[in-house]
Amino acid sequence: MAPPRTPAPVRKVFGRLSLPERNFVAEALRTETVGGVLLLVAAITALVWANVPALHDSYESVGHYHLGPEALGLSLSVEHWAADGLLAIFFFVAGIELKRELVAGDLKDPKAAVLPVVAALCGMAVPALVYTLTNVTGHGSTAGWAVPTATDIAFALAVLAVIGTSLPSALRAFLLTLAVVDDLFAILIIAIFFTEQIDFAALGGAAVGLAVFWVLLRKGVRGWYVYVPLALVIWGLMYNSGVHATIAGVAMGLMLRCTRHEDEEHSPGEHIEHLVRPLSAGLAVPLFALFSAGVAVSGSALGDVFTQPETLGVVLGLVVGKTVGIFGGTWLTARFTRASLSEDLEWADVFAVATLAGIGFTVSLLIGELAFVGDAALTDEVKAAVLMGSLTAAILATILLKIRNAKYRRLWEDEERDEDADGIPDIYEQDEPEYHLRMAAVHERKAAEHRRLAEEKAAARHRLAEVAGGAGDEEHRRA
């Protein structure tokens, strides 16, 4: 008789992260949060700069000022440099993140990868569908279908930082992984749908440059003075090819090795990401926002956002489409893979995070510029719609997350508790005998301290009783 089969363990959705993954996510989110606050400041600065009458002309002048070598086809406006140049750094980091997720993170395990990939795909498909239906029924332009498909992780984390919510690390990691997959598909959308004319000679040159970049990496060649000039050449060729120049950034990021050798504390990809991420989050993305978010804002302009099909489609896509797509994709994946939600969370938490993912600031602004190139008025209106949709999603997410924040704070405190002071949260050491021995020693020291305090208090109380008794005897003798 065959022995009974052991049932497979039930996989948890948003279960506890492994310790290395937790540490990586914590460091990445810390940088992105600071960058998100800078991004928020840059967006507000752009709006003030563009809407104060005395400053409006200077905003236009700076944004349209051209610089760069014209002979190389790179005499671009400051606004153009921010969109095509600085965002290449952002997508370079996104490429490294994606590579790391594929070889060492959550996307390495196909079973674990299903959830964020399906959630991200649904979170892009449903907003595109909402936008398209809105414009088909409203007789608008369907060219902007891709505008509401992106999630801005930095802006979302800035919202979390501003409202002070203690979102559990599993949900933060889900949001980060979701954004990484989201960025990948955004790059594919830009490459496939927003490339009109291709200069195959320049594109071939960029491909040769990427091949050289890959060979140098495999040969173990080191030195920024080798890779930075080569990266600039690749970027310039990619730009002149007609393919959006940010593709060069993500391609180079994907080439970096993100697995560690035995003698390495960090892989080359992790090391370079650690160096470049602050530049991306703290400089590149905020400067892009500064020169892209400056749109005219007035009561009539904001009212028009809800009356034109193109702008209404963007707002509904971000606020409704993103929420429904990500939440629905997550629920369906959990339902059909027979995974159960972590005991610490509820589906309302997933819904709140899905709402937060409706903040589509940076890449949505970029795609808005590409979708309606040549129509400056509609481009500005779509930008205003991105701002309005992102703001609405942020407000709704803030309300939903604040309702559950007391529960999040308790979970966060449990995740961070380190009573044995060894630098590792106690929750990761529950199965180690050494941990319990350390905790026994900690409790013994505490018990000894409490016994000492008890003896001191008892002695003090005894002395007070003796003094009170002596005073009573003296009064008795006087009487």
Percentage, residues of the chain above pLDDT 90: 25
Q: Are strands 76-77 and 340-341 parallel, antiparallel or unpaired?
A: unpaired
Contact 240, 209 (CB under 8 A): no
Look at residue 71 and tell me whether its pLDDT is greater than 90: no
pLDDT band at 186 (very low <50, low <70, confident <90, very high): confident
- Using DSSP's 3-state secondary structure scheme, residue 2 falls into coil
DSSP letter at 81 equals I
- 335: pLDDT strictly greater than 90: no
DSSP β-ladder status, 340-341 and 66-67: unpaired
Looking at the predicted structure, is the pLDDT value of residue 9 above 60? no
- Mode of pairing for the β-strands spanning 76-77 and 66-67: antiparallel
Top-confidence residue, 469 or 401: 401
Among 179-183, 210-214, 408-412, 469-473, the minimum mean pLDDT is found in: 469-473
Of the chain, the end-to-end C-alpha distance in Å amounts to 98
pLDDT of residue 23 exceeding 70: no
Comparing 467 with 268, the larger pLDDT belongs to: 268
What size, in residues, is the chain?
A: 479
326-334 average pLDDT score: 90
What is the reported pLDDT for 323? 95
Specify the pTM: 0.78
Strands 12-13 and 340-341: parallel
pLDDT tens digits along 290-309: 988 888 776 666 778 888 99
* Residue 8 predicted with pLDDT over 50: no
SS3 176: helix
Identify which of 376, 385, 389, 370 has the alpha carbon closest to the alpha carbon of residue 301: 385
Tokens of 229: 């000039």
On average, the pLDDT of the chain sits at: 83
pLDDT of amino acid 7 = 46
Least confident window among 167-171, 263-267, 378-382:
167-171
State yes or no: pLDDT of 3 exceeds 70.
Answer: no
Q: Give pLDDT, residue 6.
A: 46
pLDDT tens digits for 103-141? 877 677 777 778 888 888 999 999 999 999 999 999 999
**359-375 as b/e: b if 16+ CB within 10 A:** bbbbbbbbbbbbbbeee
Query: 93 or 26: which carries more pLDDT confidence?
Result: 93
Q: Are 78 and 65 in contact (CB under 8 A)?
A: yes
pLDDT tens for residues 226-270?
999 999 999 999 999 988 888 899 899 999 998 888 778 888 888
Burial string for 426-458 (b: 16+ CB within 10 Å, else e) reads bebbeeeeebeebeeeeeeeeeeeeeeeeeeee
pLDDT class of 102 with cuts at 50, 70, 90: confident
Contact between residue 426 and residue 417 where contact means Cβ atoms under 8 Å apart = yes
> How confident is the model over 33-54, as a mean pLDDT?
86
Instruction: Note the pLDDT of residue 389.
Output: 93
Q: Is 405 exposed, middle or buried (0-12, 13-18, 19+ CB in 10 A)?
A: middle
